[in-house]
Amino acid sequence: MLKLTSKALMLIAVAAAAQIALAQAPSDDPRARLRQGVTRADLDAQAQKTYDFVVNPTNPHRTGLPAPIGMWMWSPRMADHILPTYIYLRFGTQLDVRTKELAILIAARYDNSATQWGTHGRNARMIGIEQQVLDLIRDGRPLEGLAEKDALVIRFGRELFGDRRVGSDTFARAVKLFGRKGVTDLAGLMAFYEFLYLSSNVTFDLERPSPAAAPADINPESRARLPHVRREDLDADGRTTYDAIVNPKTPYSRGLPSPIGMWMHSPEMAQHVLPAYMYLRFGNQLGTRLTELAILVTARELNIQYQWTSHEPVALEAGLEPGVIDIVKYRRSPGGLSEKDALVIRFGHELVADRRLSAETFTHALNVFGIRNVTDLAGLMAFYEFLYLSSNATFDIQTPPGQKPLLPVP
């Protein structure tokens, strides 16, 4: 469990009260609209090339520009120059990922940027940066007991932002450890995140909370009622279960996200449930496209905002057409769709909404998919209701800060 000082608890309480007040206060500030960002269709041909340079399958920003860097597209010619710099400093240097995340967190701490700290705090935990290190940066604690590289990066940042001058000894040690190029990139990365904060977060008021402020019992990192379970807190059996999912051969090489990660609070339950999840989500023979369609249908029938918002971008990446997604999202007739797509939608509606699968639909599915795939399809849809009830609903899992809800529900 995260240990907070009384001062930190007071700051959190004050920030929460301010967020609620801001969320409730009416405003005609034009930034409320601008924060939604520019769509690709709004851009001219040159700006679309810049957009596509960042938003493409080879980059982490595969489905769109997140709000901080997306704000630069309101000045497309500025974005032409700035976005390549961002891509290089954020993803292209030879600095290791741990060093880069620490550097960004130090900048966020000195700017008191809740948005950047929240985003990159989660990233840091996912790549294995220990909570003790995050607490040390946040609280300004002494550097005793840290690994040499971690201590040097934090000292470099403290001097850069706090003293506005990197000391000769720190600079010499950084050159020895990172080389001239690495030191230049490290300083550039830290300075760039100050530029990002001022030119985007502050200007467009991105530090303002989303309209639906998180409840008071939500952990800021897990976005759930309980914190993420750390591997080091588990016993030997629990670590075996954790390692079976979190490893380079699975989609969760960087850690367990909140919905399925909450099961680790009962390692014995997770030992049984996680293998079933991995099979139904990634191991069935329906294919990724139909799997994602089945998950979206289930999320829509249950009106689960979190699951829909999480899976719509994944479904698009898996090749599910926007028109098919809209049919599910807006409850339109599946007429005109392929036989399999229409059948999955009807199957899900009857199973999840009507709580009864008709003989006609079952027979049709049996003829199209075969008995194994029908069983898997039913299991997948039923499992996502289990996932919702046993994790999302119980632990009140919130969408990430700044994430626009994608499902139109009351």
Is the Cβ–Cβ distance between 79 and 72 less than 8 Å?
A: yes
Q: Is the pLDDT of residue 255 over 90?
A: no
> In this predicted structure, which of 58-67, 105-114, 343-352 has the lowest mean pLDDT?
58-67
> In this predicted structure, which of 17-21, 159-163, 384-388 has the lowest mean pLDDT?
17-21
Confidence of residue 63 (pLDDT cuts 50, 70, 90): confident
Going by C-alpha positions, the residue among 212, 106, 204, 213 that lies closest to residue 150 is 106
Q: Is the pLDDT of residue 166 over 60?
A: yes
Instruction: For residues 233 and 211, give the distance between their C-alpha atoms in angstroms, rounded to a whole number.
Output: 35
Instruction: Identify the pLDDT of residue 140.
Output: 93
Q: Is the pLDDT of residue 241 over 50?
A: yes
Share of the chain above pLDDT 70, in %: 90
CATH topology of domain 284-395: AhpD-like (1.20.1290)
Going by C-alpha positions, the residue among 312, 306, 288 that lies closest to residue 380 is 288
Structure tokens belonging to residue 356: 């009864």
Confidence of residue 23 (pLDDT cuts 50, 70, 90): very low
Going by C-alpha positions, the residue among 203, 215, 246, 201 that lies closest to residue 228 is 246
Q: Is the pLDDT of residue 26 over 60?
A: no
Q: Which has the higher per-residue pLDDT, 199 or 213?
A: 199
Instruction: For residues 152 and 143, give the distance between their C-alpha atoms in angstroms, rounded to a whole number.
Output: 9
Instruction: Identify the pLDDT of residue 208.
Output: 64
Going by C-alpha positions, the residue among 66, 91, 313, 86 that lies closest to residue 204 is 66
Confidence of residue 54 (pLDDT cuts 50, 70, 90): confident
Instruction: For residues 296 and 307, give the distance between their C-alpha atoms in angstroms, rounded to a whole number.
Output: 8
Q: Which has the higher per-residue pLDDT, 13 or 158?
A: 158
Tens digit of each residue's pLDDT (9 = 90 or more) over 214-237: 677 888 788 888 888 889 989 999
- Mean predicted confidence (pLDDT) in 283-289: 95
Share of the chain above pLDDT 90, in %: 52
Instruction: Identify the pLDDT of residue 28.
Output: 63
Instruction: Identify the pLDDT of residue 147.
Output: 95
- Total residue length of the chain: 410
- Mean predicted confidence (pLDDT) in 353-376: 92
Tell me whether residue 36 is exposed, middle or buried, using C-beta atoms within 10 angstroms of its C-beta: 0 to 12, 13 to 18, 19 or more.
exposed
Q: Is the pLDDT of residue 380 over 60?
A: yes
Residue spans of the domains in the chain: they are: 231-280, 284-395
- Mean predicted confidence (pLDDT) in 9-24: 41
Q: Is the pLDDT of residue 308 over 80?
A: yes
Instruction: Identify the pLDDT of residue 146.
Output: 94
Instruction: Identify the pLDDT of residue 410.
Output: 63
Q: Is the pLDDT of residue 125 over 80?
A: yes
Instruction: Identify the pLDDT of residue 212.
Output: 52
- Mean predicted confidence (pLDDT) in 153-173: 93
**Which one of 162-166, 191-195, 327-331 scores highest in mean pLDDT?**
327-331
- Mean predicted confidence (pLDDT) in 287-305: 95
Tell me whether residue 350 is exposed, middle or buried, using C-beta atoms within 10 angstroms of its C-beta: 0 to 12, 13 to 18, 19 or more.
middle
Q: Which has the higher per-residue pLDDT, 7 or 107?
A: 107
Confidence of residue 201 (pLDDT cuts 50, 70, 90): confident
* Average pLDDT score over the chain: 86
Q: H helices within 279-370, ranges in order?
A: 288-302, 305-317, 322-329, 339-348, 359-369
- Mean predicted confidence (pLDDT) in 120-138: 90
Instruction: Identify the pLDDT of residue 21.
Output: 39
Q: Is the pLDDT of residue 204 over 70?
A: yes
- Mean predicted confidence (pLDDT) in 109-133: 89
Q: Which has the higher per-residue pLDDT, 18 or 138?
A: 138
Q: Is the pLDDT of residue 327 over 50?
A: yes
Instruction: Identify the pLDDT of residue 29.
Output: 73
Structure tokens belonging to residue 292: 């994602």
